[in-house]
Structure 1
């Protein structure tokens, strides 16, 4: 491409990116929130806040990611292993009904487990809201005008503006990434017009007091019949003018023009013990507030933005044109988008919002984002707001590596590592097995036992699936020290899976037993409807993934040669993926019918995504069968399931179907009523509707958009640009900066008319071979503009040695 044209192209992309930027980073409302699904979420990875923007009585719902009821428990049935061989033998004999009866009686938790998602007052526990901060305005008469409420995800701040009786009011809220407190700033356009009461509230397990200038809420949650988790929330205010006084347990602000509030919550969470005392957490809470109090609010906000953007700006997506009406609310834009109107900034906004949510709900040194990230207003959150290990927790972290947020996956890795002691006990109790296991449900107390219902709770690869993220992290970062620190996690999972392998009689394949395919039901040839089986397809795919990861890790670390050789010999003997009579991928070892053909879980395609043993270029027959499977399952489903299917179709290179599902995922939803069959979409505040709200859909959708634009999996981790770009005109021109490919390559890319125009590949880790699926007409240049590859007559894979700290340019 001539230099002048390339310069003009860069200018075009720069200008259009700036033009599109506001509509791709703003969530907007023109009225206060009437429900959780209209509130604006803020978070710094530990603290969370939901802003309602009410003009009479403002509500800020508060969260702290470790605030859980319940506590550590031993939920293992220590004699369960006595029934393992009988269950396995019955399965080998084809007596699934009898095997299932025996398993459902003995392979469950010792107690009531998660209480079927209602464990707020049980030992298992529940993620809970901290409570609320209320701002009650003194004068609520008069017509409200010029109302505007926005979440700026570029700055991680909520802003509310409105006018009443000729006075303009402004509210700013942010969860400070630097000082680790929550800031609220109120101002009025006329002096003396701020008059309101400030109070804290929680409906249970809390007391309220005032100490000097501090509002204080002390609380203690329950673990069964005992008291457990302690927490404290404190608020301190400062005024530019006016006055403040105490009345009961409230702070009264009078005749001020500016008021800053600084709020913090601390808990005594410790996964093994009762943790800190009440006086300890009060001291910690107060110290953080006092430190932030010294700094001016403007300086605090500037430092907050700087730290937040050090994550957010690492990866940015923009489409080159924007037909977004800046006067429309986000929900109005979603409705227009569903009707077929153009708005290229909507998918960019969803992508940016998903990254915002991960930055806001996952902080190194803390615990992972839960089913709701860290945002909840309930005391009994849906499904306890816990960690579901049959996809949901894993999906939360799908965008981390590719979208340049790798460091934020640390809580997931540490959580997985922390599961090992309990997981070893559970492995011995139920399977008399080596290594460690975690089943379907878990919590901050590191629960690893089966659930209370074996039909769903006995899936035995939840922990192994978590461990696959460790190997994926290495593939993206090539961090050998990280691999060395976490090798025992992966090896321990492999040890367990090896221990539960048996030889099935039909093909003499090795299969894990007993297990099930998450939450789904089969129908055997004699009409029995069951869940318990040996060798369900997902388990065998995860088994291969873990065995291969252990083998490769041991080679890299130059350790465990004997165990490596054992696994290497076992891998070819594992039950393979099978294509059924209808041309689909079998979900179970036998080609059984589905009791629910449109089931939301598509677990037997784990090998397509997130694993990569099924690809359209290496395993074409299996890829075709995966497509048949997806068409059988259909598109209509829950929110997170739609998100998973976006990734499936992207992996198959079908951008049009991936886009169809993305558009369906963006369908406006109002109802929060539970719907396990379908109806998933997006709430007005962009939270994903299961329904109700589950954050994994947001994260899965974000990962899906990334997968449509860049892939780097499969044999040799070949980088593929725009592998699933849809034909939709809004997607034909765009930029994606800071996307990460396996091998540790950071990529900035530009495309026009659906074709890559320029890409810059940065190698920041070590000298490495970089493999690219290069389209004809493109060339590769090194950092000295020396042409490495050009003149291709057809698309093909090109490999070259990428040197450390060098950039390589691809252009036309």
Structure 2
């Protein structure tokens, strides 16, 4: 540990999962409970999901067999235009598949030491090591746990004289377990179907295959190898080390789902066990010191590119209870910025597997809330809001990999369900690339019917280019995704009253009132049109930048001016639906109409002041608290429009301790506010990690903005954050900024080009003035303050 590391500490072992410390390497995650006696490491692998690769295609075929398709879509559209919402609702439910699949727990590793006491339990947010200092049977013992990305393994190092008993089990079907002197191994079968909590009528919520499947074997292998100077003995269910002064455990996994994700030919169960054993053995041979050194260098290099300090420099461990107390809001903001970055780096690394899900890469429930999958009407997008701006661009890439899978499955859905070109996805997906609506034929269209999931997700491909300036990525990865999404949007639009409309259209999870009755189906919701306008604009920008010539561009240029402009309701706020209708819930947790503010940047205080004022009016109407992700979006929105004081107050609300039982799910309507759990996980409740990821994005937005081709420095600085330093914050155009402020005013500012076009002008707004200049790659400009 270095003197300036941010280190969280807890005075006691974790008694519950939400008190444990998370470690991860992008694919393997573990929750570390700590303490003497018998303690738990709860293990996850990002590829352990229910379901099968052919699940999306099979479900599409089943939906089409009910009669859903382009002809029925025409019926839906006629019913909505006629105001026959009940008929439209019933017809659309036939478009719903069952549900996307579940991210599942893998195993529990139990370590038993002797009797004793815990002196310190910490988690280093700069190098990802969970460390404990204990007294066990009168001896000093240290235990460190980390998940190494370079080695692809989970490591447990125990030093000091002690005996250790090791056990391993799994909540999944165990079909192989073997303990021997050099370690132990576990083989499990993974369910081929998993129903979410909100589908209680499913007779078999976790269904395992009966016999072998023709083309997919839902198998996972986990192997632990051990190196110790103690004596090892084994039974059929445990391994015991006696008289050791050093013990190193290395854990590796291999799954059939990982083969699917990587596009690799399927392997046998024996081959998976052998692959995991080899990975563990290779890592073990390096020894604890080398494994830790390589891990430390890797994670520090990633996390160290950007740093934030608000207020005083903190040296030494920070009690999590102090962060939760709210007594030092500058400390809380500093910690939550780094904690969110740490969690993203721990659950999303290139080449490691699927992107961070609703719980990152940490889950211990067989039926987690909302299946711990991907909700793509806000939550998955928020997971990746901090990726580019806080220096974690490489962590963004697993999401782009998922987009590739969605584009493949979504093209079949677009063609057969809607008669459209391109690709589509709705409001839920999973590691298999699920693209259908979910709902089992009874899901309310307010949440189940939303064809814009891909139109929002695809902006992440553009964002990666815009921050990095990587023209090869833009041409080779982003353009095919953008083009396919634009094709779907072009075909989804239909003639209206002089405008092009989306129909059916919903505003995610919200309802409006018609004659006092809640309805969700309309046409051309504000969010729909904002997303499509942005997709079209990004396509034209991409073609210009990459020198592309494609027939779809002419179609886009023709359609773009025929999209409805953003409307302002009679009450003075941004209108949510095509008509000025009353909301069922004026305090609704979703801020869907304001996607045009953040993250899309279509509404801006300088360029569109009247719309910016209307956006503020809608925020005032919606109010403050709800759950972690809603707070985070509201923080970013307020910051984007220059209101640092309200953004700060929202952050203070969001980082208070949860005020009721964490394992009692709050109503989804936001009527019961969430908060932070003892390990600083954000909650609804239940635990959802999107808030943790959204907080650093919102904090960054308060301190620097770079949308619409201008870098704005300290655009929303609260008065109660009078001093601080933000180093290496990334800005669009391939540049980074270092910012220091004192007494509420900018004290030092430097801009350097990391990548991108050296001829692209850098425009910086600070201290009431603007400067413009060019920078060669590697060049830095210090600006006079």
TM, length-normalised to structure 2: 0.91
**Structure 1 residues 431 and 273: CA distance shift in structure 2, 3 A:** farther
Q: Distance in 2 between matches of 1:255 and 1:802?
A: 61
Judging changes above 3 Å, is the alpha-carbon distance between structure 1 residues 561 and 253 closer, same or farther for their aligned structure 2 residues?
Answer: closer
1:136 aligned partner = 112
Q: For 1:66, what is the secondary structure of its paired residue?
A: coil
Give CA deviations for 1:387-418 in whole Å, capped at 9, x if unaligned.
11111111111111111111111111111012
Q: 2:180 touches 2:234 (CA, 8 Å); kept in 1?
A: no
CA shift for structure 1 position 181: 1.0
Match of 2:385 among 398, 401, 407: 398
Out of 734, 755, 768, which is 2:759 matched to? 768
| Residue 747 of structure 1: how far off its partner (Å) | 1.2
> Is the Cα–Cα contact under 8 Å of residues 718 and 797 in structure 1 kept in the other structure?
no
**Correspondence 1:428 to 2:400:** no
Determine if the alignment matches structure 1 residue 701 to structure 2 residue 692: no
Q: Tell me what 2:35 maps to.
A: 54
**Matching of residues 415-454 of structure 1 within 5 Å:** 415-452=402-439, 453=443, 454=445
| SS at structure 2 position matched to 1:617 | coil
Q: Evaluate the alpha carbon distance shift between residue 274 and residue 528 of structure 1 in structure 2; reply closer, same or farther with a 3 A threshold.
A: farther
Shift of residue 771, structure 1, vs aligned partner: 4.0
Deviation per residue, 1:607-628 (Å, 9 max, x gap): 0111100111111111111111
Q: Deviations over 1:242-272 (max 9, x none)?
A: 3111122211111212211111122121158
1:258-269 equivalences in 2 (<5 Å): 258-269=246-257
| Aligned with 1:462 (options 435, 453, 460) | 453
Match of 2:204 in 1: none
- Mapped to 2, the partners of 1:211 and 1:531 lie a distance apart of 60
- Contact 1:47–1:63 (8 Å) recurs in 2: yes
1:13 corresponds to = none
| 1:102 CA drift (Å) | 2.3
The yes-or-no answer on 1:797 pairing with 2:770 is yes
- CA drift of 1:211 comes to 4.1
One of 478, 488, 491 as aligned partner of 2:469: 478
Among 774, 779, 782, the alignment partner of 1:806 is: 779
5+ residue gaps, structure 1, are 1-17, 115-123, 777-794
CA separation in 1, counterparts of 2:172 and 2:392?
Answer: 37
Instruction: Say which of 112, 123, 130 aligns to 1:158.
Output: 130
Distance 1:667 1:590 in 2: 38
Is 1:517 aligned with 2:507?
Answer: yes
Q: CA deviation at 1:797?
A: 3.2
- Report the alpha carbon displacement of residue 149 of structure 1 after superposing the two structures with TM: 0.5
Assess if the C-alpha contact under 8 Å between 2:189 and 2:208 holds in 1: no
Residue deviations 1:698-757 (CA, integer Å, cap 9, x gap): 11111001111100002xx100001110111xx211111111111111111111112222
Q: Structure 1's 195 and 775: CA in aligned 2 closer, same or farther, altered over 3 A?
A: closer
Q: 1:601 to 1:480 in 2, by over 3 A?
A: same
For residue 185 of structure 1, the aligned residue among 147, 157, 165 is: 157
Q: Partner of 2:741 in structure 1?
A: 751
Greater displacement, 90-99 / 582-591:
90-99
Contact between 2:487 and 2:552, CA under 8 Å: does it hold in 1? no
Distance across 1 between alignment mates of 2:45 and 2:462:
30
Matched residue of 2:510: which SS? coil
1:413 pairs, out of 400, 409, 413, with 400
Distance change (3 Å), C-alpha of 1:301 and 1:287:
same
> What is the CA–CA distance in structure 1 between the aligned matches of 2:376 and 2:318, rounded to whole Å?
39
- SS of match in other structure, 1:75: helix
Supply the distance in 2 between the matched residues of 1:504 and 1:93 (Cα, whole angstroms).
Answer: 13
Offset from partner CA, 1:415-444 (integer Å, 9 cap, x none): 101212211111122211111100011111
- CA drift of 1:559 comes to 2.3
**Alignment map for 1:90-169 (pairs within 5 Å):** 90-104=79-93, 106-109=94-97, 113-114=98-99, 124-137=100-113, 139-140=114-115, 144=117, 147-169=119-141
Q: Tell me if structure 2 keeps the 8 A contact 1:712–1:742.
A: yes
| 1:721 equivalent in structure 2 | 713
Query: Residue 249 of structure 1: which of 207, 213, 237 is its match?
Result: 237
Contact kept in structure 2, 1:756 and 1:811, CA below 8 Å: no
Q: Partner of 1:642: helix, strand, or coil?
A: helix
What is the distance in 1 between the residues matched to 2:321 and 2:125? 16
Between the aligned partners of 1:775 and 1:212, the Cα distance in structure 2 is 64
Provide the secondary structure at the position in 2 that maps to 1:769: coil
Number of the residue aligned with 1:232:
221
Query: Is this contact kept in 1: 2:8–2:317, CA < 8 A?
Result: no
Higher mean alpha-carbon deviation, 681-690 vs 264-273, is at 264-273
1:41 Cα deviation (Å)?
A: 0.2
Distance in 2, Cα, partners of 1:500 & 1:203? 44
Is it true that 1:635 corresponds to 2:621 in the alignment?
no
Against the structure 1 CA distance between its residues 805 and 258, is the aligned structure 2 distance closer, same or farther, given a 3 Å change threshold?
Answer: closer
Q: 1:774 to 1:558 in 2, by over 3 A?
A: closer
SS at match of 2:707: coil
Partner of 1:788: none
> How many angstroms apart in 1 are the aligned matches of 2:156 and 2:148?
10
Distance 2:419 2:495 in 1: 18
Query: For residue 644 of structure 2, what is the aligned residue in structure 1?
Result: 655
Deviation track 1:659-691 (CA, whole Å, cap 9, x = no partner) reads 111111111126322112132221111111121
Q: Tell me the equivalent position of 2:199.
A: none
Question: Who is 1:75 aligned against?
Answer: 59
The question of whether the paired residues in 2 share the 8 Å contact of 1:68 and 1:229 is answered with no
Over the aligned positions, Cα root-mean-square deviation in angstroms equals 1.8
Q: Which residue of 1 aligns with 2:200?
A: none
Between the aligned partners of 2:766 and 2:371, the Cα distance in structure 1 is: 49
Q: Closer, same or farther in 2 for the Cα pair 1:691/1:200, shift >3 Å? A: same
Deviation at 1:457, TM superposition (A): 1.2
Q: Aligned partners of 1:430, 1:514: CA distance in 2, in Å? A: 13
Supply the distance in 2 between the matched residues of 1:657 and 1:424 (Cα, whole angstroms). 42
Stretches of structure 2 lacking an aligned partner (at least 5 in a row): 194-206, 210-216
1:348 aligns with 2:334: yes
Q: In structure 2, what is the Cα distance between the partners aligned to 1:596 and 1:689?
A: 22
Kindly indicate whether the alpha-carbon contact (under 8 Å) linking 1:769 and 1:799 is maintained by their aligned counterparts in 2: no
Contact 2:323–2:331 (Cα < 8 Å) also in 1: no
Please give the alpha-carbon distance, in whole angstroms, between the structure 1 residues aligned to 2:453 and 2:242.
55
Cα pair 1:217 1:233 within 8 Å, conserved? yes
Look up the match of 1:218.
Answer: 187
Q: Secondary structure at the residue paired with 1:371?
A: coil
Contact 2:26–2:348 at 8 Å: present in 1 too? Answer: yes
C-alpha distance 666-759 of structure 1, shift in aligned 2 (>3 A): same
